[in-house]
């Protein structure tokens, strides 16, 4: 089975994460599947409950995705794809046959690099466990499971459709078909006991998966939790839990390589690394976002029609993109910082100019101010957030906002 491979320490040239500096950035493909069994009360993703008793319109949606991909190909002629990610929603609601058809259609239109990482997100209790082997046979080589917790009471309070036993069975089933599996866990859950997050991680470790993602629950606007806020643990309780989890995972041999991501050696998520190193990505499907570097310089961002009905209706007319814009140079500086400083090991100094096409002096004011405040360190061959910088990441990233919006001021011409 083809597996992910990414280097230890700062992402080294040759792993594909940073590229060789020549030509356009690495390219990934994101495929959005916008349906779930039920909408979770904390979720602000573009996900929609499948109406009771109905099936998702799989064939029509696959046709739309293929048309969507075709429409976007002229922007990336001659380029190859290094990772594919089925995200959602719950892509595991697709049939194995549907995933196989889609991947065959993708391969017929664009070259996937040898060893291309192909991830599919699933959720326990989504009736999809019987499909895992079919997903593998279709070409998927990495599974990501939305476990969130093994504690039944926590899962109920989160409005999840599964319980702890179903989560365990889903993981066991996944490991029978895949040797590269990520588990998503959440901490800071409503009424969560102080030790419960730690216990969830211990249980997750027991399965021996290659990757863990540990997110803190945040209350997002326009969610049920925003309207009816649950009682969340105090910040310092969550911070202590996070510290304990970091220690536990380090002891277990996991590399904490990004704010929320922990991987066994060589199993960092290549797809997400491409986002964090400001690579390019095509995004197809309802509400999907794309970022494409333009041949003459600059970056274009696109968003697809968001609601599934609207996406399908427009797709039937050959329209997919609802918004398209070229990113202003000042915004590119901030967008680069927003992504790259999530990486604990940092990035090569040349990456900024490579990925943005901007003069490195554009990055200097924020960098200098970050170093002055102890948030950023310059090491030989890399720039990285310090421990303080990781803790106050929002403050660090804000240094790269355009001057006047909170960013560090541009130096005077003679400074």
Give the footprint of ligand SF4 on this chain (CB under 6 A): 36, 39-40, 43, 45, 47, 88-90, 123, 146
Tell me if 253 sits within 8 A of 387, measured CB to CB. Answer: no
Report the nearest approach of ligand SF4 to the CB of residue 240 (Å): 25
Report the nearest approach of ligand SF4 to the CB of residue 124 (Å): 10
Report the nearest approach of ligand SF4 to the CB of residue 40 (Å): 3
The CA angle 242-256-273, to the nearest 5 degrees, is 125
Report the nearest approach of ligand SF4 to the CB of residue 137 (Å): 24
Tell me the C-alpha distance between 402 and 386, whole Å: 22
Report the nearest approach of ligand SF4 to the CB of residue 297 (Å): 36
Report the nearest approach of ligand SF4 to the CB of residue 87 (Å): 9
Between the alpha carbon of residue 380 and those of residues 15, 230, 245, 287, 347, the distances in Å are 19, 46, 30, 41, 11
Which CB sits closer to ligand SF4, 43 or 175?
43
Tell me if 187 sits within 8 A of 215, measured CB to CB. Answer: yes
Which CB sits closer to ligand SF4, 308 or 385?
308
Tell me the C-alpha distance between 60 and 307, whole Å: 15
Which CB sits closer to ligand SF4, 15 or 119?
119
Which CB sits closer to ligand SF4, 19 or 87?
87
Which CB sits closer to ligand SF4, 110 or 284?
284
Cα–chain-centroid distance for residue 327? 21
Tell me the C-alpha distance between 286 and 303, whole Å: 9
The phi, psi pair for 275, rounded to 5°, reads -65, -50
Place of tokens 């993703």: 45
Report the nearest approach of ligand SF4 to the CB of residue 123 (Å): 5
Which CB sits closer to ligand SF4, 43 or 388?
43
Report the nearest approach of ligand SF4 to the CB of residue 200 (Å): 16
Between the alpha carbon of residue 137 and those of residues 98, 105, 134, 167, the distances in Å are 12, 15, 5, 22
Tell me the C-alpha distance between 93 and 33, whole Å: 9
Which CB sits closer to ligand SF4, 43 or 259?
43
Report the nearest approach of ligand SF4 to the CB of residue 167 (Å): 12
For 229, residues 6+ apart whose C-beta sits below 8 A from its C-beta are 219
Tell me the C-alpha distance between 286 and 315, whole Å: 10
Report the nearest approach of ligand SF4 to the CB of residue 65 (Å): 18
Which CB sits closer to ligand SF4, 89 or 279?
89
Structure tokens at 16: 């594909």
Which CB sits closer to ligand SF4, 89 or 407?
89
Report the nearest approach of ligand SF4 to the CB of residue 48 (Å): 8
Which CB sits closer to ligand SF4, 227 or 325?
227
Sheet holding 321-326, edge to edge: 255-258, 261-263, 211-216, 181-187, 142-148, 112-122, 81-88, 27-33, 280-284, 289-293, 299-304, 321-326
For 178, residues 6+ apart whose C-beta sits below 8 A from its C-beta are 1, 132, 136, 140, 141, 142, 143
Tell me the C-alpha distance between 10 and 18, whole Å: 10
Tell me the C-alpha distance between 232 and 85, whole Å: 32
Between the alpha carbon of residue 76 and those of residues 10, 224, 340, the distances in Å are 28, 39, 23
Which CB sits closer to ligand SF4, 32 or 82?
32
């Amino acid at each position: 089975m083809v597996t992910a491979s990414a280097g230890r320490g700062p992402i080294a040239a040759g792993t594909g994460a940073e590229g060789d500096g020549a030509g356009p950035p690495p390219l990934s493909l994101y495929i959005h599947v916008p349906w779930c069994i039920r909408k979770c009360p904390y979720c602000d993703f573009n996900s929609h409950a499948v109406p009771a008793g109905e099936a998702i319109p799989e064939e029509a949606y696959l046709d739309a995705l293929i048309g969507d991909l075709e429409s976007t190909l002229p922007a990336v002629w001659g380029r190859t794809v290094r990772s594919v990610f089925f995200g959602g929603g719950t892509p595991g609601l697709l049939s194995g046959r549907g995933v196989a058809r889609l991947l065959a259609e993708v391969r017929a239109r664009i070259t996937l690099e040898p060893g291309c990482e192909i991830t599919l997100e699933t959720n326990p209790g989504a009736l999809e466990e019987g499909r895992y082997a079919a997903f593998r046979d279709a070409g998927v080589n990495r599974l990501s499971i939305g476990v969130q917790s093994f504690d039944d009471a926590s899962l109920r309070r989160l409005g999840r459709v599964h319980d702890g036993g179903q989560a365990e069975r889903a993981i066991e089933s996944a490991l029978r078909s895949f040797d590269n599996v990520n588990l998503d866990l959440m901490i800071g859950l409503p009424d969560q006991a102080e030790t419960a997050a730690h216990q969830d991680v211990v249980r997750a470790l027991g399965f021996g998966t290659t990757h863990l993602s540990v997110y803190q629950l945040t209350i997002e606007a326009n969610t049920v939790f925003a309207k009816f806020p649950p009682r969340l643990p105090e910040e310092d309780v969550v911070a202590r839990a996070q510290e304990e989890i970091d220690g536990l995972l380090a002891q277990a041999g996991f590399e904490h390589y990004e704010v929320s991501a922990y991987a066994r050696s060589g199993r960092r998520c290549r797809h997400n690394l491409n986002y964090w190193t400001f690579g390019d990505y095509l995004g197809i499907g309802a509400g999907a976002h794309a970022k494409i570097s333009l041949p003459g310089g600059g970056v274009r961002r696109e968003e697809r029609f968001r609601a599934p009905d609207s996406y399908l209706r427009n797709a039937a007319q050959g329209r997919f993109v609802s918004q398209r814009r070229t990113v202003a140079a000042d915004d590119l500086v901030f967008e680069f910082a927003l992504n790259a400083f999530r990486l604990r090991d940092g990035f090569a100094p040349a990456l900024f100019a490579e990925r943005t096409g901007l003069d490195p002096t554009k990055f200097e004011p924020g960098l200098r101010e970050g170093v002055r405040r102890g948030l950023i360190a310059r090491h030989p061959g890399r720039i990285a957030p310090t421990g303080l910088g990781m803790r106050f990441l929002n403050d660090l990233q804000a240094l790269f906002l355009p001057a006047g919006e909170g960013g560090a001021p541009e130096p005077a011409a003679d400074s």
